[in-house]
Amino acid sequence: MRLKRIAIAGLVLGLAFTGWCQRRGFRWPSRGSESPSLARNEAEKRVLATLDQAQRAGDMYQNVPASDGRLLRVLAESAGAKSVVELGTSTGLSGMWLSLALLETGGRLTTFEIDSGRAATARANFKKAGVDHLVTLIEGDAHRNVTRLKDPVDIVFIDADKDGYLDYLNKLLPLVRPGGLILAHNVEMAPEYVRAVTTSPQLETIFSGDGGGLGITLKKR
Ligand SMILES: C[S@@+](CC[C@H](N)C(=O)[O-])C[C@H]1O[C@@H](n2cnc3c(N)ncnc32)[C@H](O)[C@@H]1O
């Protein structure tokens, strides 16, 4: 009975608060994907304009939605990432989102793509966005090419062949610095990977549902 009264009081208060907000024209901020990113300077404006043009021109192939792109930028910038590795460049949209962070952190992106047409489009996009000096695009099979990497990595972003996620994790985890992140897109399509990142005591993993299911894994210190 007491619980029922508390629940009803909570409901009434909630409705009253909602009405009060509406009368004052206050709205909760819309979800990230619905409100545009606002440029703080010319460099950022150029990247955002190129992202917008690429989307309008249909210069796309399975790219991250803007909501996930923004999350990538937030994670990379807040981590102060100096070295980001991406598997699956496609036409460069996620690379441009990450570059927004790297412009601020003074970092660099190494990105891998097997399809030469998409790699060419990505290169053109990076140039147009004014971030080509931050990006090294390595064309070919990433499973083979990542073995060339030797330096520590702050963030790995896995977004290539889904059945290859576990192999990418196994090859790159040793390079990720303690406290670094392994991000993986569309993780619902990579169950073996999910098992690996959720059963290791060295890793802490959460999942973001807004967009294509982004796995966010911390390599513990
Ligand atoms: C989902 S798309 C990447 C989207 C991109 N991250 C973005 O959001 O803009 C996956 C890309 O991975 C590439 N890919 C698939 N297998 C690969 C491999 N073994 N090595 C390198 N790239 C690969 C595909 O050609 C495709 O362009």
Q: Whose CA is nearest to atom 27 of ligand 1?
A: 90
pLDDT category, 70, cuts 50, 70, 90? very high
**Does any ligand 1 atom lie closer than 6 A to the CB of residue 59?**
no
Of all atoms in ligand 1, which is nearest to the CA of residue 118? 27
Q: What pTM value is reported for the model?
A: 0.87
- Could you tell me if 87 and 157 are in contact, meaning their C-beta atoms sit under 8 angstroms apart? yes
- Select from 159, 162, 186, 187 the residue to mutate for testing ligand 1; criterion: most ligand atoms less than 8 Å from CB: 159
User: How many secondary structure helices (H) and strands (E) does the chain include?
Assistant: 8, 7
**Does any ligand 1 atom lie closer than 6 A to the CB of residue 112?**
yes
pLDDT category, 209, cuts 50, 70, 90? confident
Is the pLDDT assigned to residue 129 strictly greater than 50? yes
Residue with the larger pLDDT of the pair 19 and 119:
119
DSSP, collapsed to helix, strand or coil, labels residue 140 as: coil
Over residues 59-83, mean pLDDT: 95
**Does any ligand 1 atom lie closer than 6 A to the CB of residue 162?**
no
pLDDT category, 96, cuts 50, 70, 90? very high
CA 131 to CA 115: how far, in whole Å?
A: 21
CA 158 to CA 40: how far, in whole Å?
A: 28
**What local confidence, expressed as pLDDT, does residue 113 receive?**
98
**What local confidence, expressed as pLDDT, does residue 92 receive?**
97
- Give the angle subtended at the CA of 72 by the CAs of 69 and 75, to the nearest 5°: 150
**What local confidence, expressed as pLDDT, does residue 24 receive?**
45
